[in-house]
Structure 1
Amino acid sequence: MKKYILSFALVLMSLTAFAQSDYEKIMSEKIGKIEACKTTEEFQALANDFQRIGSKESGQWLPSYYAAFSYIQKGRIMMRDGNMQELDGVAAQAEKYLGTAQNLAGADNAEIHLLKKMAYSLRMMVNPQQRFMTDGVRASEELSRAEKLDPTNPRIALIKAEDTYFTPEQFGGSKTKGIEMFKEAIAKFNAYKPKTALDPNWGRGEAEYFMSLSAEKGR
């Protein structure tokens, strides 16, 4: 009997290891597509993919995190294209998945708080004058929470740099200061190591892009 129990335990361990390996493989594949996505349709498809992974891997927080991130990236493209009226719906989808991710990962996750900040910023852009004191304040609060939890996180430095770069000077922004902050973000990217191969590691390309714009202007 003991032999059968041991055999069953070994089979169960093997199946668990196989399932984990399969999860990591498909997650790596989908995460690898993030930087290749350029349109709202592509980010929507990616969000759907992460949602399906999350429904199968109910104990993992990263699928919901990346689903939320995909919605936020979709919203940022919409914002760039001037499609502001649909940002509330996109932000709501991101917030739904962030709620799931936070329930699984815990409240002290800087990466989740940073995405919450980005979701509130999308909402604010629907009507900045009316929403600055509501969604704008919430965005700042989430950014502060993220920074307190993980002050060396390069994505936090990146988003702070973007905020400074795009905010008009009369409201405290500065393109010159923003470029200096992008430099700081790149230095943090050089020193930062994700906890696992699946953990968030996005953002370096954005920082380098803004630095390249600065270099072109300086020629």
Structure 2
Amino acid sequence: MVRVISALVLLVCTTLSAQSKFETGMQKAFALWGENKSTEAAAMFERIAAAEKTNWLPYYYVALVNTTDAFQTQDKEKIAALLAKAQEATDNALDLSPDNAELLVMQAMIHTAWIVADPMTNGMKLSGTVNEIYAKAMKIAPDNPRVVFQKAEFEIGGARYFGKDIKPMCAEIERAVGLFANFKPETQFHPNWGKERAEQALAECKK
């Protein structure tokens, strides 16, 4: 009996230790990102992903950090390197969680970054794919605020390019703002970003 109890205590302690390492690592990675140390943050998320082989979240943040950086530079070689890392991480995450609306949004964002980097080459090639990804994400999670907002924001870009009315997309952005107000992430580490951007986009719609 003592041996069984000792084994259970060891198992619980090991589990708690693993959880603690994950939580500590994630918090440190977020802190680095908050300090604008995106390279260090991405590296930390990569190390966590290597240790947490069945958890899609670290891979998601590797992709999100790198894609965010890709949107903020015009250096073509740097963009290609960042988006290659983001794509690899997203592929790994989707292997773990295939029908995940958050990951579909992430994939659409990677394609959008390629379009922004080179509209003439990638616009026609990838726009249809992005629309298909958002349509799939909407079927899975029609009330996820990031799905609603990112889809509408992408569609506004296309509508403005072709001189079309953006009112329907603005209505969806307004809906997204409402969804953000009531959104509760599953854990402290699940995606919970986009509210401020949606509010800014809505303000632009009303100008």
Q: Same fold (TM over 0.5)?
A: yes
The answer for the alignment partner of 1:162 in structure 2 is 153
The answer for the alignment partner of 1:45 in structure 2 is 40
Alpha-carbon distance, 1:213 to partner: 5.1
The answer for the alignment partner of 1:183 in structure 2 is 174
The answer for the alignment partner of 1:25 in structure 2 is 24
Seen in structure 2, the aligned counterparts of structure 1 residues 33 and 45 have a Cα distance that, compared at 3 Å, is: closer
Aligned-pair identity in percent equals: 26
- 3-state SS of paired residue (1:13): helix
Aligned AA (2:19): Q
The answer for the alignment partner of 1:118 in structure 2 is 109
The answer for the alignment partner of 1:7 in structure 2 is 6
Counterparts of 1:59-74 in structure 2, within 5 Å, are: 59-74=54-69
| Deviations 1:67-86, CA, capped at 9 Å, x for gaps | 011011011112xxx43454
Structure 2, unmatched stretches of 5+, are: none
Q: Distance in 2 between matches of 1:196 and 1:173?
A: 39
171-180 or 23-32: bigger deviation = 171-180
| Deviations 1:1-58, CA, capped at 9 Å, x for gaps | x321321222221221232133123313433555x355xxx32222111001112222
Alpha-carbon distance, 1:150 to partner: 0.6
Q: Distance in 2 between matches of 1:167 and 1:131?
A: 13
Given the two structures, how large is their TM-score scaled by the length of structure 1? 0.82
Aligned AA (1:97): A
Given the two structures, how large is their TM-score scaled by the length of structure 2? 0.86
Seen in structure 2, the aligned counterparts of structure 1 residues 149 and 198 have a Cα distance that, compared at 3 Å, is: same
Seen in structure 2, the aligned counterparts of structure 1 residues 84 and 102 have a Cα distance that, compared at 3 Å, is: same
Alpha-carbon distance, 1:179 to partner: 4.2
Structure 1, unmatched stretches of 5+, are: none
